[in-house]
């Protein structure tokens, strides 16, 4: 289960209009030319630093899951929604609200 504060912050960030969406999969959660995939937004709000010049790497995914409580299958689903099906951030935020359970305790 995802920590409630991260879910709330992530959904708010996705809906905020502050993040320009990037929708092509190449193995990284993007922050390139000021664009982000939906998971890249979570990396950003969780305080991760980029490990290449421009991107959050797949190698940081385990750390992200441990910090936020988001499950691997949920990350894969959201990556598919963003990169394969080109759903916008509002649609992805709707899915997160409806499908990601939360906990107020530790993960």
The residue ranges of every structural domain in the chain are 2-103
Helices (H), 1-107: 4-15, 38-45, 61-68, 72-79, 89-99
Determine the pLDDT at residue 53. 45
> What is this structure's pTM?
0.85
Q: How confident is the model over 43-84, as pLDDT tens digits?
A: 889 988 765 544 555 567 888 999 999 999 999 999 999 999
Q: How confident is the model over 3-30, as pLDDT tens digits?
A: 999 999 999 999 999 999 988 765 555 5
What's the whole-number average pLDDT of the chain?
Answer: 85
């Amino acid at each position: 289960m995802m920590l409630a504060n991260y879910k709330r912050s992530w959904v708010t960030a996705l809906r905020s209009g502050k993040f320009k969406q990037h929708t092509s999969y190449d193995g990284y959660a993007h922050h390139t030319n000021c664009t982000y995939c939906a998971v890249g937004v979570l990396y950003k709000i969780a305080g991760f630093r980029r490990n290449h010049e421009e991107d959050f790497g797949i190698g940081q995914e385990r750390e992200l899951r441990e910090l936020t409580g988001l499950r691997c299958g949920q990350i894969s689903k959201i990556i598919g929604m963003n990169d394969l099906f080109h759903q916008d951030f509002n649609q992805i935020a709707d899915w997160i609200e409806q499908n990601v359970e939360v906990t107020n305790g530790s993960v």
